[in-house]
Amino acid sequence: MSGIATAVDITLNSLVLGGVFLIVAVGLNIIYGLSRVMNLAHGSLYAIGAYTGYTIVSLGVNFFVALLLAPIIVGIIGLIIERIVIAPMRKRSMIYTLILTYGLMFFLDGLIKYVWGNEPRFVAIPAFMRETISIFGTHYPVFRLTTLVTTAAVMIGLMLFLNKTRIGMILKAASTIPEMVSCLGFNMNYIHIGAFILGCALAGVAGIVAGPLTTIDPLMGHEMLISSFVVIVIGGLGSLRGAVFAALLIGLVQTLAEFFITDLAMVIVYMMMAVILAFMPRGLFGEGKFE
């Protein structure tokens, strides 16, 4: 491969990886920003998104239909979790939901193993997605580009929703001064429920688009949970802009590191996080709002 082809390859790979990190991290951030709940089961919901997508596709349904269905299913699971686990703890300190969602993570992981077993699964993607196309001399797999386009579309859609719709504005307002939002006549309970469903659905989207990139196994959610934590810690808790920047940064660093020194890839990512936090303890963009 030529130098340019390698550079294009690395750039695209880091965007693909960063895009998946971003969707997972933004889901966590939305839930945290609106409800001050740090959902430790978020990675497991991502895994369920991947498994659900796998099952839907293996039933013979088109991959793109699955792309729509899986997040809806994960969103419904999110609604059930919110009602049973999160809502009763609303008035308590964050530590309660932290412990509960930690337990929930193990429960969901067990559930995954019970339903789908321990062995890795592979999503049967449509034939055209298995092709490669030539971009500046590199033969790039179409399914990776599909992931890239999907994550970009989801992010653009989310930004338009938050910035251009009335509901989006209410969510942004609720992430800053929830009490005043109540005083304008909006029921914060519905906002909490909606935010949780939205966050979980985003984990589901990330899961199904990431499915073809890796093997689907019961532990895939743990790695992703940690990576998305790194993203929101570096970007600044709750900050959407910070998450975009941090996700792309980590995507790039991890891809570069994997290319040059595979064994140290994650070490380098964590070292970078440590250095950033040493100088900017609140993350690059500060503990943030939805902007």
Partner 1 sequence: MEKTHRILEIEDIHTYYGESHVIQGLSLFVNAHEAVSILGRNGVGKTTTLRSIMGLTPPRSGSITIDGQKTIRWPAHRVSRLGVAYVPAERHIFPGLTVKENLKIAARSGNGGEPCTLERVYDYFPVLADRTNQDGSTLSGGEQQMLAIGRALISNPKIIIMDEPSQGLSPLLVVAITQIVKDFCVDSGMTLLVVEQNYRMALKVANRHYLMSTKGKITGIATTQELIDNQQIILDHLAV
Contact positions vs partner 1 (CB under 8 A): 166, 169-170, 172-173, 175-177, 179-180, 182-188, 289-291
Sequence-separated contacts (24+) of 268-276 with Cβ below 8 Å: 269/227, 269/230, 270/230, 272/234, 273/230, 273/233, 273/234, 276/234
Give the residue with the Cβ less far from partner 1, 74 or 195.
Answer: 195
Least spacing, CB of residue 236 vs partner 1, in Å: 14
Q: What's the rounded Cα separation, in Å, for the pair 126 and 257?
A: 31
Q: Within 10 Å of residue 211's Cβ, how many Cβ atoms?
A: 29
Q: Within 10 Å of residue 18's Cβ, how many Cβ atoms?
A: 26
Give the residue with the Cβ less far from partner 1, 75 or 238.
Answer: 238
- Catalogue the E-assigned strands of the chain: 132-135, 138-141
Coil, strand, or helix at residue 2?
A: coil
214 burial (CB, 10 Å; 0-12 / 13-18 / 19+) is: middle
Least spacing, CB of residue 283 vs partner 1, in Å: 17
End-to-end CA distance of the chain: 40
Least spacing, CB of residue 288 vs partner 1, in Å: 9
Tokens 């440590």 belong to which residue?
A: 274
The phi and psi torsions of 132 (rounded to 5 degrees) equal -120, 155
Least spacing, CB of residue 176 vs partner 1, in Å: 5
Least spacing, CB of residue 175 vs partner 1, in Å: 8
Give the residue with the Cβ less far from partner 1, 29 or 138.
Answer: 29
Least spacing, CB of residue 38 vs partner 1, in Å: 21
Give the residue with the Cβ less far from partner 1, 134 or 166.
Answer: 166
Instruction: Please check whether residue 49 is in contact with residue 202, taking contact to mean a CB–CB distance below 8 angstroms.
Output: no
Give the residue with the Cβ less far from partner 1, 124 or 169.
Answer: 169
Least spacing, CB of residue 186 vs partner 1, in Å: 6
Give the residue with the Cβ less far from partner 1, 173 or 213.
Answer: 173
Tokens 């321990």 belong to which residue?
A: 118
Dihedral sign (CA 243, 196, 19, 169): negative
Give the residue with the Cβ less far from partner 1, 124 or 180.
Answer: 180
Q: What's the rounded Cα separation, in Å, for the pair 245 and 88?
A: 34
Give the residue with the Cβ less far from partner 1, 90 or 222.
Answer: 90
Q: Within 10 Å of residue 277's Cβ, how many Cβ atoms?
A: 14
